[in-house]
Amino acid sequence: MSTTKEDLFETTCGLEIHVELATASKMFCGCKVDFGGEPNTRTCPVCLGLPGSLPVANEKAVEYTMKIGLALNCKIAEYSLFHRKNYFYPDMPKDYQISQYDLPLCYAGHVDIAGDWGTTTVGITRVHLEEDTGKSIHVGGSGRIHDSAYSLEDFNRAGTPLVEIVSEPDIHSVAEARAFVSELRILLDSLGVSDVRMEEGSLRVDANISVRRRGETEYGTKVEVKNMNSVRSVGRALEYEELRQREAIEAGEQLVQETRHFDERTGTTSSGRTKEGSSDYRYFPEPDLVPFEPSAEWVDRVQSTLGETPTDRRARFATEYGLGAKDIEVLTATSATADWFETAAKAYGGDAKKVANWIMADLYGLLNEASIELTESKIAPDQLAGLVKLVDGKSISGKQAKSVLAEMFSSGKDADAVAKEKGLEQISDTGALEGIVDEVISEHAEAAAKVRAGNLGTIGFLVGQVMKKTRGQANPGLVNDLLRRKLT
Amino acid sequence: MTDLHWRSATELAGLLANGEVSAVEIAQALIERADEVDGQLHAYLHRTDERLLEDARASDERRASGQTRSRFDGVPTAHKDLFVTKGVPTTSGSRILEGWLPTYDGTLVKRSAQAGLPLQGKLNMDEFAMGSSTENSGYGPSRNPWNTKSVPGGSSGGSSALVAAGGTPWSWGTDTGGSVRQPASLCGLVGVKPTYGLVSRFGVVAFASSLDQPGPLTRTVTDAAAFLQIAGGHDPMDSTSIPQAVPDYLGSISGGIEGMRIGIVTEIEEAEGTQPGVKTRVGEAYRRLEKLGAELVEVSLPSFEFGISAYYLVAPAECSSNLARYDAVRYGLRVEGPDVVSMTSRTRDEGFGDEVKRRIMLGTYALSAGYYDAYYGKAQRVRTLTIRDLERVFTDVDLIATPTSPSTAFELGAKTADPLSMYLNDVFTVPVNLAGNAAISVPCGTSPDDELPVGLQLIAKALDETTMFRAAYAFEQDLGWAGSEEGRPSL
Ligand SMILES: [Zn+2]
């Protein structure tokens, strides 16, 4: 047996995830939280950092943060503070960020992630609340600030509540890192606290990753990888970085402790300029805000709103609907998807696995082609249930149902309406079919005799003749049944 | 009516109510007074004469139709230039904010307008309220009406100069380490540092957030209480604002001080550097309080000697962060550079004065990794000690009496070369800001040394402005200096 890299090296990784909260208003002012829009239209003296303006904390954001913390099994601090993190950057209105430092709102939690390797428990160091910056567009040069001709600043995003989730370095493979981000995404979505639109930057991932030879007691040199904006890019960036570090160790090179940026186009990480000085953020307690001490009643109230966790829902999908792992993974990817499936399953009323199969095997194909989400499709859950019922009732064949689904997908019409329109509705009326079956038996007496003699293989020929006479409209199952009844 | 400009706000309110004078007449009298004295004083950074007359006309109309906004509708005021005023230049005494036209009104500006107070303009100050003389203003110093060779105190020195010269009956300043009380003392005025959180800081250009507190400068105790009543009270826009309304100070202001226990601090009385003339007048003031029925009690404040040191760590630390936003990106001065870093640093180099730069550097250092505990952390512990010290003393006494400032007004330039001697101006006032208590400076006549005003400081428990005003009023009435010929500069 050959030795793999996994046998030779050990990876240690901790993740920091920033999540924009979907509160109605910003963290410290009344401006609306939204995406896009004309630059600098959702701003006010507070989120522009005008002289004399003061922050007032958004209670909903505090509550959402507690919700995330509780869902991640964290403790909620009895006494928590905002700190100022001081550094200059043009898109930061006050040139300090109101954040949390040594007294985060939530701490000491954990979350389980499962995959091919089994189940891993990843510790959650802290979950804290801060404000987002504005957005810079650097014009000219490489698109980075240092060689641009000028920069444009949009402060619409400035002050959006941002939650930072920091994991313990309990992640030891790229697969685990991907699973962790994906699990958090599902969790945040199920809590309804964030849009988790990674491509729009509402969830951003940084990683601290180091590699060492297996058996060594000292950790390897820690590298911070920034700018990962999807589960996929987390996978690509960390695979690249893991390999780079392993090769450097094998080549006997000294790794540098640094921050590296992931480039989505090349799939590589590159060394950023070493941080402006060493990063001394001169944290100190924010004097414009008062400390907050969430009451036990408040924490209980938030706890009671958590509802079913994604883990529990997945377990229930297995026991209640008898679904397999792959189906569960896809059907619980977002709570909207899971809700959609459950609505369809309930409307159907029979074996939910059939509904799952239609979604997984056929509907997803159409969705992927149109690149839309399940919840964006024109087909409503009860319409899919209607289609499965039509097939069950043998009104249409499984093959016909696929073309009915395609039509439903483009028109949004009900299954039976589409089937009628297409003239696909099968002749399932026993009375109507009986005459035709009798006709065929008398026209093909020889074949009929063979069947009577026990040669059941010939029954297919007779079915074919009935289908021919009905131009394919007869329900083949029913024809088969009738022939057997009459001839055997 | 002659000498309208020497009338107190309360007197003007009475004249307006009786129809003896119109708001426009008052406004015109104050414009004339400004024309007459401001060339010598340089109290104003920005006069809003047109708006003043417009506001006054609107006030007269309201009064004619019986719709006055408050008792003081039509009594004008001018604000220290760090109160953000929509459409009116607001520089905080700094070149870095030159050209900035605010798009919003701060709470105090709003409440003054809601009370119907016509706006006279914006007043000079030490840059970002850092200083005790207005010599740190980016626009040149103001002068003391009692002696124009001398400073009016600071940082609210434009306010003290104008009120003392009869240029306005009252003005809002801010007090971070003594910046209302010290200029009030040096100009023979009443100056109040309310309890931290009593007056909103929303729309106050920040110096040191945990210490800054707006306060009125007036010629009488009654006016100070009335002005605090207008602008104080809870503001949801300021998270550190105390969630309660301002009590009715005027209702009990003449209650006297019979039976009050007033603490005299051993460490302050024994402190070196207090001018003999100041000691004389303040000593007389103590005896006057006694004569009025108060009991003087000797008390000890061991944390007193660390106050200045703690203050000069906390205030610079907070200011180093508060002033970071002046980066040339969004407003104010911009000095172009080849890249954003040089644009910001060139702008800050040109826009900030020496004292501001000194404090930003001090504060940046005090907050740096590895130094935080030794400096900022320790200063916060001194702050806690000061709070406990005062709490302990206040279990035994109703008020504490001290000199407001160790000296009377000094000549321009006398202390600019020695920042430390300048800082010591605040030695008696700073502990009050560290602890968050209320305090007032009331005039106790002029020093026998130089015929310049001396102030008595009365420190009260947090939120006990009522007792503070009562004692200050009793003292003022008995002394009879305020409002008399003797209590006015000859300017
Ligand atoms: Zn805003």
Of A57, A86, A95, the CB nearest to B327: A95
What are the b/e assignments for A400-418, b being 16+ CB within 10 Å?
bbbebbebbbeeebbbbeb
Cβ(B120)–Cβ(B47) under 8 Å?
A: yes
B275 assigned to some structural domain: no
Among residues B325, B333, B338, B347, the alpha carbon closest in space to that of A145 is found at B338
Contact A287 B100 (CB under 8 A): no
Confirm or reject contact between B317 and chain A (CB < 8 A). yes
Do residues A178 and A65 both lie within one domain? Answer: yes
H-only helix segments in B330-412: 340-351, 354-367, 378-393
Collect the ranges in chain A with pLDDT lower than 70: 1-3, 198-199, 273-278, 425-429
Spell out the SS3 assignment of B72-136. CCCCCEEEECCECCCCCCCCCCCHHHCCCCCCCCCHHHHHHHHCCCCEEEEECCCHHHCCCCCCC
Cβ(B452)–Cβ(B434) under 8 Å?
A: no
Over chain B (491 residues), the average pLDDT of each successive run of 10 is: 92 98 98 98 98 98 98 98 98 97 98 98 98 98 98 98 98 98 98 98 98 98 98 97 95 97 96 94 98 98 94 97 97 93 96 98 94 93 96 98 97 90 91 98 97 98 98 98 93 86
Q: Which of B97, B239, B341 to mutate: most A Cβ within 10 Å?
A: B239
Do residues A107 and A196 both lie within one domain? Answer: yes
Rounded Cα distance between A309 and A288, Å, is 37
B35 assigned to some structural domain: yes
Distances (CA, A) of B309 to B17, B42, B316, B427: 50, 32, 11, 10
Do residues A363 and A296 both lie within one domain? Answer: no
Q: Six-digit token pair at A459?
A: 């029954």
Question: What pLDDT shows up at residue A274?
Answer: 53
Q: Six-digit token pair at B484?
A: 């008399």
Q: Six-digit token pair at A52?
A: 């004399």
CATH number of the CATH domain containing B210: 3.90.1300.10
- What residues make up the domain containing B236? 4-264+394-487
CA B199 to ligand 1 center in whole angstroms: 23
What are the b/e assignments for B127-164, b being 16+ CB within 10 Å?
bbbbbbbbbbbbbebbbbbbbbebbbbbbbbbbbbbbb
Residue A435: partners with Cβ closer than 8 Å, 6 or more residues away: none
Contact A153 B203 (CB under 8 A): no
Contact B369 A49 (CB under 8 A): no
Bridge partners of A363?
Answer: none
Do residues A457 and A483 both lie within one domain? Answer: yes
Q: Which of B79, B94, B213, B329 to mutate: most A Cβ within 10 Å?
A: B329
| Block residue for tokens 């020496």 | B354
When divided into structural domains, chain B yields a total of 1
Residue A429 backbone phi and psi in degrees, to 5: -85, 110
CA A18 to ligand 1 center in whole angstroms: 20
Among residues A28, A185, A21, A234, the alpha carbon closest in space to that of B238 is found at A28
Q: Six-digit token pair at B14?
A: 């009475």
Question: What pLDDT shows up at residue A210?
Answer: 96
B239 assigned to some structural domain: yes
Of B237, B240, B321, the CB nearest to A96: B321
Task: Tell how many helices (H) and how many strands (E) occur in chain B.
Answer: 17, 11
Do residues A379 and A268 both lie within one domain? Answer: no
Distances (CA, A) of A151 to A39, A47, A138, A139, B345: 13, 19, 4, 6, 17
Do residues A230 and A365 both lie within one domain? Answer: no
Contact B325 A49 (CB under 8 A): yes
Among residues B354, B115, B112, B85, the alpha carbon closest in space to that of B205 is found at B85
Confirm or reject contact between B162 and chain A (CB < 8 A). no
When divided into structural domains, chain A yields a total of 3
Give the β-pairing of A83-86 and A75-76: unpaired
Of B202, B240, B320, the CB nearest to A52: B202
CATH number of the CATH domain containing A438: 1.10.10.410
Of B104, B240, B329, the CB nearest to A288: B240
Contact A52 B82 (CB under 8 A): yes
B455 assigned to some structural domain: yes
Give the β-pairing of A268-271 and A259-263: antiparallel
Active site residues of B: 80, 155, 179
- Report the SS3 class of residue A170: coil
Question: What pLDDT shows up at residue B1?
Answer: 72
Question: What pLDDT shows up at residue A353?
Answer: 93
Of A90, A95, A287, the CB nearest to B324: A95
Question: What pLDDT shows up at residue A198?
Answer: 65
Residue B190: partners with Cβ closer than 8 Å, 6 or more residues away: B184, B216, B217, B218, B219, B220, B221, B223, B224, B440, B441, B442, B443, B472, B476, B482
Cβ(A452)–Cβ(A488) under 8 Å?
A: yes
Do residues A247 and A317 both lie within one domain? Answer: no
> What's the Rg (C-alpha) of chain A?
30
Min Cα–Cα distance to chain B from A200, Å: 25
Min Cα–Cα distance to chain B from A45, Å: 7
Q: What is the ipTM of this complex?
A: 0.96
Min Cα–Cα distance to chain B from A7, Å: 40
- What residues make up the domain containing A334? 308-421
B297 assigned to some structural domain: no
Start-to-end CA span in chain B (Å): 19
Do residues A316 and A176 both lie within one domain? Answer: no
Do residues A414 and A470 both lie within one domain? Answer: no
CA B103 to ligand 1 center in whole angstroms: 13
Contact A49 B321 (CB under 8 A): no
Do residues A314 and A265 both lie within one domain? Answer: no
Q: Which of A263, A282, A301 finishes a domain?
A: A301
Which residues of chain A make contact with B100, given a CB cutoff of 8 A?
51
Do residues A250 and A177 both lie within one domain? Answer: yes
Confirm or reject contact between B319 and chain A (CB < 8 A). no
B388 assigned to some structural domain: no
**Chain A residues with CB-CB distance to B under 8 A?**
45, 48-57, 84, 86, 88, 90, 93-96, 145-146, 151, 153, 280, 282-284, 287-290
Cβ(B138)–Cβ(B147) under 8 Å?
A: no
Of A48, A151, A282, the CB nearest to B330: A48
Q: Residue A51: closest CA among chain B residues belongs to which residue? A: B205
CA A25 to ligand 1 center in whole angstroms: 8
Extended beta strands in B295-343, E state: 295-299
Do residues A338 and A293 both lie within one domain? Answer: no
Question: What pLDDT shows up at residue A276?
Answer: 45
What are the b/e assignments for B44-75, b being 16+ CB within 10 Å?
bbbbbeebbbebbbbbbebbeeeebbbbbbbb
Min Cα–Cα distance to chain B from A156, Å: 14
Which residues of chain B make contact with A289, given a CB cutoff of 8 A?
239-240
Q: Residue B343: closest CA among chain A residues belongs to which residue? A: A90
Greatest pairwise CA separation for chain B in angstroms: 70
Min Cα–Cα distance to chain B from A94, Å: 4
Contact A146 B106 (CB under 8 A): no
Q: Which of A421, A448, A475 finishes a domain?
A: A421
Q: Residue B236: closest CA among chain A residues belongs to which residue? A: A56
Contact B206 A51 (CB under 8 A): yes
The one-character DSSP state at B44 is E
Does residue B309 have a cis bond before it (omega within 30 degrees)? no
Q: Six-digit token pair at A90?
A: 């043009």
Cβ(B16)–Cβ(B22) under 8 Å?
A: yes
Which residues of chain A make contact with B202, given a CB cutoff of 8 A?
52-54
Q: Which of A242, A267, A301 finishes a domain?
A: A301
Residue B405: partners with Cβ closer than 8 Å, 6 or more residues away: B153, B178, B181, B182, B185, B186, B278, B425, B428, B429, B455
Q: Residue A152: closest CA among chain B residues belongs to which residue? A: B329
Among residues B121, B399, B144, B139, the alpha carbon closest in space to that of B260 is found at B399
Residues 190-249 of chain B whose Cβ lies under 8 A from any Cβ of chain A: 201-206, 208-210, 236-240
Extended beta strands in A21-90, E state: 75-76, 83-86
Question: What pLDDT shows up at residue B469?
Answer: 98
B362 assigned to some structural domain: no
Rounded Cα distance between B387 and B382, Å, is 9
